[in-house]
Amino acid sequence: MLLAGRFLLPQTPQLILDSIAFERDDSLLFSGICLSLESGDVLQIEGPNGVGKTTLLRILSTALMPTAGKLLWQGSDVARHRQLYLQNIMFLGHLPGLKQSLSPTENLVWWRRIHRDHSPLKNEEILGSLGLCGYEDIPCYALSAGQQRRAVLARLLVTEAPLWILDEPFTAIDKQGVADLEALLIAHARRGGMAVLSTHQDLGIANVRRFPLVASAEVV
């Protein structure tokens, strides 16, 4: 798949998690998370359900703040420079995130207007490349879960964000959809982008990094 442009990022850590911890309901969910991502990295967060994978990704998206530790983007504290950081990330949660009364085309048009993307790709070209040819103008509530997931993934084809944060992106999509998304991730990394994702899927991506997340049993 063709993605416009290339990210001009130095081969040094762009994203650093410095001793990240998170407390929930007076219990420490996890602590001491130290990670770094460089240009071209694809990082898979692994672990059983309930260990905190979604929580960690939401911290990366700034939807949650860590109880302790720092998140650094290009050496700057994200807590102090949040808006600049948000301009450089694409976060897709495990929920569809679509307006159900709108079609895939209308959802994509709405998203592109809000984010003011400059991609030359046309909406029908984007949706067709993801297997939605013939479904572009059907309201999303009438689509299958897999088709809705593809409609969301269309945003990856037009975003200019170098850092993708994806929570269970392979949910509900078929074998071809898995291959299409893997191709997107590979192309993004080759352009110099980065991705952090959680999935139970065995990825067909060479040199993917894996981080096993371990829950803390500590009560605070």
Q: Can you spell out the DSSP letters for 4-61?
A: -S-----SS-SEEEEEEEEEETTEEEEEEEEEEE-TT-EEEEE--TTSSHHHHHHHHT
What pLDDT, on the 0 to 100 scale, is given for residue 118?
77
What pLDDT, on the 0 to 100 scale, is given for residue 2?
45
What pLDDT, on the 0 to 100 scale, is given for residue 8?
56
What pLDDT, on the 0 to 100 scale, is given for residue 220?
37
Spell out the CATH class of 40-62+89-211.
Answer: alpha beta
What pLDDT, on the 0 to 100 scale, is given for residue 218?
46
Residues in the chain: 220
Domain boundaries, the chain: 40-62+89-211
Contact 68, 20 (CB under 8 A): yes
Percent of the chain with pLDDT over 90: 70
Tell whether the model's pLDDT for residue 215 goes beyond 80: no
As given in the structure block, the two tokens for residue 161 are 């964000």
176 CB-near residues (< 8 Å, 6+ apart):
131
pLDDT, the chain, mean: 90
What does the pLDDT look like over 83-132, one tens digit per residue?
999 999 999 998 878 999 999 999 999 999 988 777 888 999 999 999 99
